[in-house]
Structure 1
Amino acid sequence: MTRQDGGAAPAVRTVEGDLPGAELGVCDAHDHLFLRSPRLPGQELADAGAAERQLRAFAEHGGRSFVQWTPYGLGRHSGALVELARRTGVRIVAATGLHQAQHYTEEPPSDPAELFVQELTCGIRGGVCGESPRAGLIKVAGDFHGLGPYARRTMTAAAEAHHATGAPIAVHLELGTGATDVLELLCAQQEVPPSSVLLGHLGRCPDVRMQREAARSGAWLVFDGPSRTHHATDWRLFDSLADLLEQGYGDQLLLGGDTVTATARAETGVPYVSRVLRPRVARELGVTTGQQLFVDNPARAFATHWKS
């Protein structure tokens, strides 16, 4: 994709190729079709048929694009993502990156930055370079109220990969905490633009002052997990959104379902975002806000000037 002046235009890197952000339409900005972790025994998301049914139901209620934050080594099923996108018509963005060490039984890659760059530019590991789908973002994770050595290594590697490729960096904030430490490392020390950082799970720590501070940085604020009916802070979601909208941060907000277990999929799952959450946002916060949070913001958040 090029601009009329010959430069590279911002693009979202989906499993089927790059496209303008405007083509995403209604977007689930953080979710999972496939996921496995030793921390969630018996709750694996590994059924391609179930994933297709979830996507079709999501699309039936207006959903048009889906960002899977499942990183390296946690059962991404990258090949299945391509087929699912083709069969359902839903645009899918895949992730590279690394989660917390506790989610792995094997040693992490010796050079994570090299892995991230390879998966963003050549294709997700396990496939043939040029034929395997490419990742469209980097997923890393912080720790509870801070960053340990492992988190610092993976985030530093993510920053290196961002500078090499332009890819956005999506961050799992443990229970919504640690945003200040993440921004200090990624933006202040590693010079990643805040507009390339997505802070996930921000609503799990319903501290309005903390959320406003994160917003002042210019980073994206991702409120996710509302489909999980057992989550204790979900009832505060609309209070947080209303406050941030009133403070003028509406152009930094993203919403997603973050369906991570078989139980959550059975209870509500991916379709909740388009079937329930989007209409409620339009009803309680306004149609214009609904357009902003589900269409306009994702079109900017996941598009970047990709580097060769």
Structure 2
Amino acid sequence: MSAVNTVRGPVEADDLGRTYMHEHIFVLTADVQRNYPGEWGEEDRRVADAVDRLRALAAQGVRTIVDPTVVGLGRDVHRVRRIAERVPELNIVMATGLYTYDSVPFFFHHRGPALNEALGADVPDPMVEMFHTDVTEGISGTGVRAGMLKCAIDRQGLTPGVERVMRAVARVHHLTGVPVTVHTHPETRTGLDVRRVMCEEEGVDPGRIVLGHSGDTTDCDHLAELAGAGFVLGMDRFGLNLGTTFEARADTVVEMCRRGHAAAMVLSQDAACYIDWIDPDVMAFLPQWHYLHLGQEVLPYLRRNGVTDEQLTTMLVDTPRRVLSPVPPAAP
């Protein structure tokens, strides 16, 4: 079995154990935090709080989390490594990629493909080299290598910026064999755009792609279509019950298991120790949105409603292990 890159080094896929495939540690707006540090508060206090929360998660029996925090979400590998060293019982897989629903950051506007027409040449996209370096050499010079690639498509659809990132991620997947997670918006069926661009045009195996936030819809016919196409569905926002309910999210998993799609699903909460996108006062209205919700409430509910222990093991251990195991890079 192949080794998976984690913050503390490679871990054999067989040793990943119960895995949550989409949990952040911190989601931050980097420019705001750098220029208004009072919002963040004391660094040591934030780190200590994260250590406590992750230790509690590990005490539930979770052995691995994937943190898909990339550029655009305030990724800081130095901070995460500091936390990981204090929670050795939990593996943390970091991601590389770029998070945007629309245009790319200004850094990329006049680099790479944007110069093709002006120069009359095929200029490589610097994203490809950057993401590739994160996987093969390490992030930010730390030697911590990314074990997942990340891009996003939301209700804005396949904008030129979104498509550019998606294709860069696909190319690095072929160069490295590292799997892909895509933030999607199932209400507008953006998983179908992922299928066309990443699979049909770029040649990525859908079994190597997690369609994040698939649990935001209760349309099981659409989810079954994506599962039937080979994708892995991220049922990964348990506890984030804005515009939906706990029961709606859980019952969707129950129904998909009943239809035979347990092997096509992974479970998570998309929680964080701190996210500066949301006023802290608003978090009081999301009492279930935390790392322990799955273990405390979701899994018992699923069992009571017919999901078997074998199916839970499939979603929490077997499918994550399969997805995270690197495959050989494509031939040049």
TM-score, length basis structure 2: 0.80
TM-aligned CA deviation for residue 39 of structure 1: 12
* Separation (CA, whole Å) in 2 of partners of 1:32 and 1:153: 24
Query: 1:137 and 2:148 equivalent?
Result: yes
User: Match for 2:134 among 103, 119, 124?
Assistant: 119
1:158 matched residue in structure 2: 169
Query: 1:222 and 2:234 equivalent?
Result: yes
Query: 1:271 and 2:292 equivalent?
Result: yes
Q: Which letter does structure 1 place at the counterpart of 2:174? A: H
Structure-2 change in CA distance of 1:186 and 1:85 (3 Å): same
SS in 2 for 1:14: coil
Q: How does 1:183-202 map to 2 (within 5 A)?
A: 183-202=195-214
* Separation (CA, whole Å) in 2 of partners of 1:57 and 1:249: 30
TM-aligned CA deviation for residue 71 of structure 1: 0.9
Q: Which letter does structure 2 place at the counterpart of 1:159? A: A
Kindly indicate whether the alpha-carbon contact (under 8 Å) linking 2:29 and 2:72 is maintained by their aligned counterparts in 1. no
TM-aligned CA deviation for residue 22 of structure 1: 1.9
* Separation (CA, whole Å) in 2 of partners of 1:238 and 1:280: 7
* Separation (CA, whole Å) in 1 of partners of 2:304 and 2:17: 19
* Separation (CA, whole Å) in 1 of partners of 2:147 and 2:82: 17
Query: 1:14 and 2:35 equivalent?
Result: no
Q: Deviations over 1:60-83 (max 9, x none)?
A: 211111110111242222123223
* Separation (CA, whole Å) in 2 of partners of 1:140 and 1:102: 11
2:96 matched residue in structure 1: 96
* Separation (CA, whole Å) in 2 of partners of 1:38 and 1:115: 19
User: More deviation in 131-140 or 171-180?
Assistant: 171-180
**% identical equivalent positions:** 28
1:4 matched residue in structure 2: none
Kindly indicate whether the alpha-carbon contact (under 8 Å) linking 1:21 and 1:298 is maintained by their aligned counterparts in 2. no
User: Match for 2:317 among 295, 303, 307?
Assistant: 295
Structure-2 change in CA distance of 1:241 and 1:44 (3 Å): farther
Structure-2 change in CA distance of 1:194 and 1:224 (3 Å): same
1:50 matched residue in structure 2: 49
SS in 2 for 1:254: strand
* Separation (CA, whole Å) in 2 of partners of 1:44 and 1:303: 35
Q: Deviations over 1:122-141 (max 9, x none)?
A: 111x3x2xx43111111100
Structure-2 change in CA distance of 1:156 and 1:104 (3 Å): closer
TM-aligned CA deviation for residue 292 of structure 1: 1.5
Structure-2 change in CA distance of 1:40 and 1:79 (3 Å): closer
Q: Between Structure 1 and Structure 2, how many residues are aligned?
A: 296
Kindly indicate whether the alpha-carbon contact (under 8 Å) linking 1:58 and 1:275 is maintained by their aligned counterparts in 2. no
Kindly indicate whether the alpha-carbon contact (under 8 Å) linking 1:38 and 1:104 is maintained by their aligned counterparts in 2. no
Kindly indicate whether the alpha-carbon contact (under 8 Å) linking 2:97 and 2:151 is maintained by their aligned counterparts in 1. yes
**Unpaired segments ≥5 residues, structure 1:** 1-8
